[in-house]
């Protein structure tokens, strides 16, 4: 079933004329790794907020759906989408060729790279992480990058976490020496924390999008709405709201793109 809690209403007049009209009143189940600042996290009232929460709510509204956020660890989002437990997944999920073999994405809406975040006075570059403990999110592109380049950098250990919060606790306590993850989330996180510092951008050419079950009908529907929202400037306004600056015109936040 594509949508959960799906209610189908047939218009009596349409039935009488031999034409069936279907009206959908449903709630999209949206999987998210809550705690992924500033994309999806809880504010002081406990409400789910963030760039992607705002975006998926807007997309769903345009399609006539409500949204229910389901908190799922990042690595569990893939099986949840594939099994149909959720309709869509968000959590700064990077589009990759490998992932496209088993899931589908709408057009991207954010360009990103990885980054190295350290405690003040710690390593100043990726090269200085040689012989030190690196933290990553399980199954993330940061995890993939660190694993792929481990022989080159020479980490003493790659320690895996289920979200930024627990990794930051260990970084602050000195249990890891650096944290490799998406640069926008870390720039947002450390901007008011002088004890932490983003010391390196790791260029990977990543782009984020919403993830769906392979070839789901919802992909094209959501993609059309994303095109509208880019043209209207909604995506640019979200970027300014959450990052304090307007996006560059060449980025996927502004530029309409094809379904990958």
pLDDT in tens, 96-110: 999 999 999 999 999
Q: Are residues 12 and 104 in the same domain?
A: yes
- Give the CATH number for residue 123: 3.40.190.10
pLDDT band at 128 (very low <50, low <70, confident <90, very high): very high
**Residue given tokens 């070839």 in the structure block:** 215
Domain count, the chain: 2
pTM score above 0.75 = no
- pLDDT value at position 207? 94
Q: Which domain holds residue 117?
A: 112-206
Rounded CA-CA distance 25/7 in Å is 6
Across the range 194-201, mean pLDDT stands at 92
Q: Are residues 24 and 77 in the same domain?
A: yes
H helices of the chain, in order, are 12-16, 51-62, 77-83, 97-100, 141-148, 150-153, 164-173, 183-190, 217-232, 234-243
The answer to whether residue 17 scores a pLDDT higher than 80 is no
Q: Are residues 23 and 87 in the same domain?
A: yes
Contact between 48 and 69 (Cβ < 8 Å): yes
- pLDDT value at position 221? 98
Q: Which two tokens stand for residue 204?
A: 């990977």
Position 193 in a domain: yes
The answer to whether residue 23 scores a pLDDT higher than 50 is no
Rounded CA-CA distance 67/150 in Å is 40
38 prior amide bond cis, ω within 30? yes
**Residue given tokens 């660890």 in the structure block:** 73
Across the range 244-258, mean pLDDT stands at 90
Across the range 131-149, mean pLDDT stands at 96
Tens-digit pLDDT profile for residues 214-249: 999 999 999 999 999 999 999 999 999 998 778 889
Contacts of 234 (CB under 8 A, 6+ apart): 58
């Amino acid at each position: 079933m594509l949508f959960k809690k799906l209610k189908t209403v047939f218009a009596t007049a349409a039935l009488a004329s031999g034409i069936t009209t279907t009206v959908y009143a449903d709630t999209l189940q949206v999987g998210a790794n809550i705690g992924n600042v500033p994309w999806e996290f809880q504010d002081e009232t406990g409400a789910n907020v963030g760039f992607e929460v705002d975006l998926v709510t807007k997309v769903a509204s345009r399609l006539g759906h409500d949204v229910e956020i389901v908190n799922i660890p990042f690595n569990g989002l893939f099986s949840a989408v594939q099994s149909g437990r959720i309709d869509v997944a968000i959590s700064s999920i990077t589009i990759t060729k490998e992932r496209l073999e088993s899931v589908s994405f709408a057009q991207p809406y954010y360009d990103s790279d990885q980054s190295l975040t350290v405690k003040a006075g710690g390593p100043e570059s990726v090269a200085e992480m040689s012989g030190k403990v690196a933290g990553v999110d399980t199954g993330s592109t940061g995890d993939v990058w660190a694993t792929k380049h481990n022989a080159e950098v020479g980490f003493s250990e790659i320690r895996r976490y289920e979200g930024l919060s627990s990794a930051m606790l260990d970084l602050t306590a000195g249990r890891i020496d650096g944290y490799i993850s998406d640069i926008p989330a870390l720039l947002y996180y450390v901007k008011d924390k002088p004890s932490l510092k983003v010391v390196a951008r790791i260029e990977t050419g990543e782009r984020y999008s919403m993830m769906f079950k392979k070839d789901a009908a919802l992909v094209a529907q959501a993609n059309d709405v994303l095109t509208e929202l880019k043209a209207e400037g909604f995506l640019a306004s979200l970027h300014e709201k959450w990052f304090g600056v307007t996006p560059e015109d060449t980025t996927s936040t502004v530029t309409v793109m094809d379904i990958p």
